[in-house]
Homo-oligomer: A and B are copies of this chain.
Amino acid sequence: MRTDPLRVALLGCGVVGSEVARIMTTHAADLAARVGAPVELAGIAVRRAGRERAGLDPELFTTDAGALVKRDDIDLVVEVIGGIEPARSLILEAMEHGASVVTANKALLAADGATLHAAAERYGVDLYYEASVAGAIPLIRPLRESLAGDKVERVLGIVNGTTNFVLDRMDTTGAGFSEALEEATALGYAEADPTADIEGFDAAAKAAILAGIAFHTRVTADDVYREGITEVTAADIAGAKEMGCVVKLLAICERSRDAATGEERVTARVHPAMVPLAHPLAGVRGAYNAVFVEAEAAGQLMFYGPGAGGAPTASAVLGDLVAVCRNRVAGGRGPGESAYAQLPVSPMGEVVTRYHVSLDVADRAGVLAQVASVFAEHGVSIDTVRQQGRDGEAKLVVVTHRATDAALSATVEELRRMDIVRGVAGIMRVEGE
């Protein structure tokens, strides 16, 4: 056992950071035994001074994060500030000064992971980020290492706890979106400004990170098609139930082949989808997360657990901390970026899936035939149609076979222009069959 301690700088001391500091303090002996050297907190950068943190030496705190990451005695910087700046500059500065980095910053990784990875390579340091996706659930490491000898075909996940809680409440209680969101806010599952969650930005950042690792290809948040859950209605949930499905906000990363050229490509998208009750993801309740991975040799794997929260996220950060410290002690480095495949990222229009389309139509003879012919003209094959009539109005529920998103969009556009179609009540993709 080496006696010279490894020194850790912590950037941020909020919900996650304070938990990281607490565990580092209370479990110091275990961490030292696992690393092979003592691990100590060398400094904690916070935004505002003067706030006491129980059990932590006040001398550790500083409001000058820039000076902290430049210190020569720092082996490892843990970044749990979040956001693009100043996090990126601080991480790059830390690496330049020889420190390895553990971060939970999904937004930064999804926006500019390539810059961070390149800097880690240049300065010969580690960059670990297990906590950036799905909290405590080991997912980055299994994809980056356990499945490194396999070919991942598909990642299908519930990676945002807030939206899963809201959709689960809508499903269980029949509540509308606003009502369920209010409940989530009251219970602490949604933030005061829930935009990043409910509009799918958070899930899209995670999808970019997962797709990048799974397919050995650089994928940024801008490459990810994104729809949130604000448009999901109680009627959509009821429609899903009739189909034996639940509605989930899914992050989906897929490998496919171009129909014309046979060339491999990938897609990444986030949107609400109907998932059959028999699928393991359908049973993921409340704020839990779960990610389904399909690989050529491994088959179907699922990873399940708490996707957020101070302690679970701290668990992931500390796993990375131990790994990076072990690497330091052994004089080695963990895996770097693997983006050699450089597969093209296809736009949403090329995604192939099934659709559930609800139409309000005129209740007269021949309507179904006319609607069906529009689907047919666009090459969208219909699996089932259900017709419900009442008071001169009727509802048509069409479930399609697999078709491209572009073909479905063109179909819907034409349906909207038809006199007999009073409105398109809902369109939802059907996944996980």
Residues of A within 8 A of B (CB): 19, 23, 27, 30-31, 33-34, 130, 136-138, 141-142, 145-151, 216, 280, 283, 295-306, 309, 311-312, 314-323, 326-327, 330-333, 335, 338, 340-341
Chain B nearest CB, measured from A264 CB (Å)? 11
Contact (Cβ within 8 A) A27 B151:
yes
What are the 7 tightest A-B residue pairs by CB atom distance, in nearest-first order?
A: A332-B332, A149-B318, A136-B298, A138-B146, A138-B142, A297-B315, A148-B322
Q: Beyond A145-B319, A150-B318, A303-B304, list 7 extra A-B contacts (CB 8 Å).
A: A23-B149, A34-B216, A136-B295, A147-B315, A148-B326, A299-B312, A332-B333
With contacts A27-B151, A314-B297 known, is A304 near B304, CB below 8 A?
Answer: yes
Residue in B298, B319, B341 whose CB lies within 8 Å of A147: B319
Protomer copies: 2
Contact (Cβ within 8 A) B331 A33:
no
Chain B nearest CB, measured from A106 CB (Å)? 17
Nearest neighbor of A280 in chain B, beta-carbon distance = B304
Contacts of A304 in B (CB 8 A): 280, 301-304
With contacts A148-B319, A150-B315, A151-B30 known, is A306 near B299, CB below 8 A?
Answer: yes
Contact (Cβ within 8 A) A299 B305:
yes
Nearest neighbor of A33 in chain B, beta-carbon distance = B340
Contact (Cβ within 8 A) B318 A326:
no
* Complex: A305 Cα to B340 Cα, angstroms: 28
* Complex: A311 Cα to B296 Cα, angstroms: 8
Chain B nearest CB, measured from A283 CB (Å)? 7
**Listed residue (A145, A303, A317, A318) with the most chain B CB atoms within 10 angstroms of its CB:** A145
Contacts of A280 in B (CB 8 A): 283, 304
**Listed residue (A34, A302, A315) with the most chain B CB atoms within 10 angstroms of its CB:** A315
Chain B nearest CB, measured from A158 CB (Å)? 13
Chain B nearest CB, measured from A252 CB (Å)? 19
> What are 12 residue pairs bridging A and B, where the CB atoms are less than 8 Å apart in the complex?
A31-B149, A33-B341, A136-B301, A138-B138, A141-B145, A147-B319, A297-B312, A297-B318, A298-B306, A298-B315, A323-B335, A330-B333
Contacts of A311 in B (CB 8 A): 296-299
Nearest neighbor of A304 in chain B, beta-carbon distance = B302
Contacts of A314 in B (CB 8 A): 297
Chain B nearest CB, measured from A121 CB (Å)? 12
Contacts of A283 in B (CB 8 A): 280, 283
**Listed residue (A33, A146, A149) with the most chain B CB atoms within 10 angstroms of its CB:** A149
Contacts of A305 in B (CB 8 A): 298-302
* Complex: A340 Cα to B338 Cα, angstroms: 34
Nearest neighbor of A32 in chain B, beta-carbon distance = B340
